[in-house]
Every structure is written in C-alpha cells, then in structure tokens.
Amino acid sequence: MYKVAVIIPCYNEEKNISDVIRSVHAVNHSSLYQLTPIVVNDKSTDRSSSIASNENCVLLDLPVNLGIGGAVQTGFKYADENNFDAAIQMDGDGQHPAEEIEKLILPLINNEADIIIGSRFITGEGFQSSFWRRTGIVFFKMLLKNITGHIITDSTSGYRAVNKKTLTIIAHQYPDDYPEPVAIVIFAKNNLRIKEVQVEMKERQGGQSTIGGFSPIYYMIKVSLSICFTYFKK
C-alpha cells in the first residue's frame, strides 16, 4: 500500500478546513494507496485549529506564523520523517477538489515522474483564475523555460504531488516565499522529473488569498527575482 501524506497548509480557514479534510477521506478508498490528511495550522487567529482537531487528521500547530512556504515544508518534514511514500500539497480553502487526487498519485506509483503538478491550463477546464494572475503565469512559464528548460503551464499551482526521493530533498530545501514557482527551479537543479496533469479547480470557497494584497506588477517582480536568485544560488 502506497502511503500518501496530504499536506494541507491552513491559515484562517475555519469556514473551509473541515470540508477539505472530509473530502480527502471521501476519496480514500483505493486499493493502491492510503491517504492521510496532515493539516499544518500556520498560527491561525480564528478557530481553524480547534475545528481541525475535531476531524480525523494529523494536526501540526505552528507556534509562530511561517507563511505558506514554511507551513508546507513543515508538512513535508513530517511526511519524510514518518516514512510516507509520497506527499500531496493541497490548499485548505476548497480550491483543490479531492476527486482529482488520483490524477496526481497514479503517475507517481507508475514511476512516470518525481513531481506531478496539477494544471488548470492544459485543456482549460474549471476555474481559470483572474486575468492578471493568468498573465503572470504565462510570464513565469517563459521565464522558467529559459532558466530550467521545463515548460510548466501552471507554475503557481499549489496542487501537486511528490515522490519519496523529492520529499527527502524538499523537506530540507524549500523556498519560504512564492514556493510553488520557485520550487520548480529547485526541482530542475536536482534533476528531478516533472510532469503536469490536467485538473479542475474551484474558486476559493471563503477567506482571503495570501497574495490578495499585492499588486499584479509587484507580485510578478518579486516572484521573478526569487526565481532568479534561487537559480544562481549555490
């Protein structure tokens, strides 16, 4: 049985976190793999922690707010130290339907890649995000292609799965800021195999995005600098 940690970073998701955890259990019926929801509460100021504690999950309560990168890496560390075979990163806001998990897991089981990224843009199904975010994603696609040689249609997607080899690497080396696009540089520098699969996503079911307060130009500049710094960093 393939042991899979479903890492759910959580910051002020009291309206969504219970449904997200339960949705994982609702699809946890495969004979090939076993899913374990791992909620990483990033020092939420609402009732997220107490709500998650009453659900069937592993709850990791951070003593300070680490941001999305630190929260996700905490989950990766836990999965690596507890001998999981793979890990899925899944948002706590309801954007990532659990029904799509199998699309991420089966290619890992079949050894088709080391990282599987769920993309909204291969066939264009489901929620496609805002105009400005799509513009940024197209720009990052070109930048990452020039830097890494990989063509990634949805580099900001936080719906992705990694195998044990990758898990061990990113448990110790993972970006704090803008982790999804920047992590692709880390994957490339470690010669890991990356594959995208089409998934349908939903609009955020409540709460506020962690990048919602940034202007589109500011966001693109900051992410681009982080990508470049990570590439040139020894």
Closest CA to 71 of 36, 104, 112, 38: 38
Those residues of the chain that have pLDDT short of 50 are 207, 209-213
Instruction: Return the number of other C-beta atoms located less than 10 Å from residue 56's C-beta.
Output: 11
Please state which CATH number belongs to domain 2-232: 3.90.550.10
Q: How far is CA 145 from the centre of its chain?
A: 20
End-to-end CA distance of the chain: 37
Instruction: Return the number of other C-beta atoms located less than 10 Å from residue 110's C-beta.
Output: 8
121-152 residue pLDDT tens? 887 665 556 565 678 888 999 999 999 999 99
CA–CA distances in Å: residue 227 to residues 35, 110, 122, 155, 174: 31, 30, 23, 11, 12
Per-residue pLDDT at 122? 86
CA dihedral (156, 36, 112, 199) positive or negative:
negative
Per-residue pLDDT at 206? 54
Question: Is residue 224 a contact partner of residue 216, using CB atoms and an 8 Å limit?
Answer: no
Sheet with 58-61, strands from edge to edge, namely 58-61, 33-41, 2-10, 86-89, 160-163, 115-119, 194-198
In the chain the beta strands, taken as DSSP E runs, fall at: 2-10, 33-41, 58-61, 86-89, 115-119, 160-163, 194-198
Q: What is the pTM of this model?
A: 0.90
Helices 216-232 and 179-189: angle between axes, nearest 10 degrees: 20
DSSP state of 54: T
Per-residue pLDDT at 129? 63
DSSP state of 41: E
Q: Tell me how long the chain is.
A: 234
Q: Produce one character per residue of 27-36: b if its CB has 16 or more CB atoms within 10 Å, e if not.
A: ebebeebebb
Per-residue pLDDT at 151? 95
Per-residue pLDDT at 125? 60
Per-residue pLDDT at 123? 75
Domain ranges in the chain are 2-232
User: CA-to-CA distance for 9 and 70, rounded, in angstroms?
Assistant: 9
How many Å is the maximal CA-CA distance in the chain? 47
